Amino acid sequence: MENAGTTPQGVAGRKRIPNRERPTAEDEALNLIAREGEARLAAKRAARAEAREIRMKELEKQQKEVSDEDDHVSVHSRGSLRVEERSEKDFEKGIRTASSLSAATVASLGGTFSRRGSGDTSISIDTEASIREIKDSSAEVEEKYKKAMVSNAQLDNEKTNFMYQVETLQDALLELEEQLAESKRQFEEKSKDFEREKHAHAILQFQFMELKEALKQKEELLAALERQKVFFDSLRSERDDLREEVILLKEQLKQ
């Protein structure tokens, strides 16, 4: 009977919906970090582009120097060949002169100077052999020098190619580092978003539990009201019966 007019406490005024549209200090900090990261990446890209341009100029300069050196070697080789041809011609001319002179001397002087003529001929033959040996040795050295210069040029070209490959790999490594930094930044942002969503979910779950408890209290109140209604109906029926009995008693008393 006493619970008929009571209302459950704490039902109204419990809905608290978080304001998720309003930017927080954490969001502003994340945006600031993102802008700073983008600025750093842009600066790195500009510095890398400038360094790449400088490296390409250096490589072009080195290739030009190698080409100039090859041209110098070619000119030197042609000069050496001309000197060698001139020496060979002078040598052949000297041989012919010595041969003619030896023949004339032998013819004019006869047998008296035959031994001396033979000695001059042997000296000329020895000189010719020495000159030919020197010429062969010079040609061999010249050939080795040419091969060494060609090998050196090839090594320079390979060095240039390797340097270019190294620079390309360094650029690729920088790109990967930038991608890693960007992925890390995105991961941190996603982690922050997840934490915010998790916090909002916890708030919504708490509100759901409050609403569930309020609904349970309302259901209990409705059940109590139903019981009170049944009780009141029984009282009303008893009142009506008593009224009828009173009326009957009044009629009996009148008789």
For 178-196, how does the pLDDT look when each residue is reduced to its tens digit (9 = 90+)?
Answer: 899 899 999 999 999 999 9
For the stretch 48-67, pLDDT in tens is 777 777 767 777 777 777 66
Structural domain contains residue 49: yes
Question: Which pLDDT does position 53 carry in this prediction?
Answer: 76
For the stretch 10-43, pLDDT in tens is 333 444 444 444 456 766 776 777 677 677 777 7
Structural domain contains residue 199: yes
Question: Which pLDDT does position 26 carry in this prediction?
Answer: 66
Structural domain contains residue 1: no
Structural domain contains residue 116: no
For the stretch 110-126, pLDDT in tens is 444 344 444 555 566 77
Q: Which domain holds residue 38?
A: 31-68+126-213
Structural domain contains residue 11: no
Structural domain contains residue 107: no
Structural domain contains residue 26: no
Structural domain contains residue 20: no
Q: Which residues have C-beta within 8 Å of that of residue 105, sequence separation ≥ 6?
A: 113, 117
Domain count, the chain: 1
